[in-house]
Amino acid sequence: MLDQVRYAVVFVFSDPVTAGGVVVGAVVLGASAWFAARRFGWRPVPSVFAGIFLGLVLALTFSRSQPSWALVGTEFCLLNGFSLHGVSELFNALLFAPLVWCAVLATRRPLAVLVSAVASSAVIEVLQPLVGRGMCETQDLFNNSAGAVVAAGLAAGYVALRDRMA
């Protein structure tokens, strides 16, 4: 698993345009989150981290090319089900978790964050084949959503426990 993460990092940062996009996206979205936190009364530190993680999610999902075999079929989106068998599947389940965790800590609104994460995953899946950066798979949406549900639930529980202890 650690080798796969290392490979993903090297892959993303081997292309200067993608690497620049990761850094610029993380900085811009992190700074935007800080301003949003001030505007909406959110907690600033988890807001900034949520913005940074959003930049990383976007960079990772749009950094790969569309596979050549995906161009052959007539399906716009590959219809497959939820699975955690394989590194890619597990990675997709964990992809939104840090973003959702930080966003719930920042906003204290787990349901709104969860709905936003699932909607963002759906938009990403639809956009990937349209811009030629990856492919649309329902499995990715299901895995991203499952990870977001777990992260939102854990973060909501943490916030409730922390409030109760305070």
| CA angle at 35 for the pair 30 and 37, rounded to the nearest 5° | 90
Instruction: For the chain, give every domain's residue range.
Output: 2-65+75-165
154 and 86 in contact (C-beta within 8 Å)?
A: no
Tell me the C-alpha distance between 160 and 87, whole Å: 33
pLDDT of residue 74: 58
Residues 22-55: tens digit of each pLDDT = 888 889 999 999 999 999 999 999 999 999 999 9
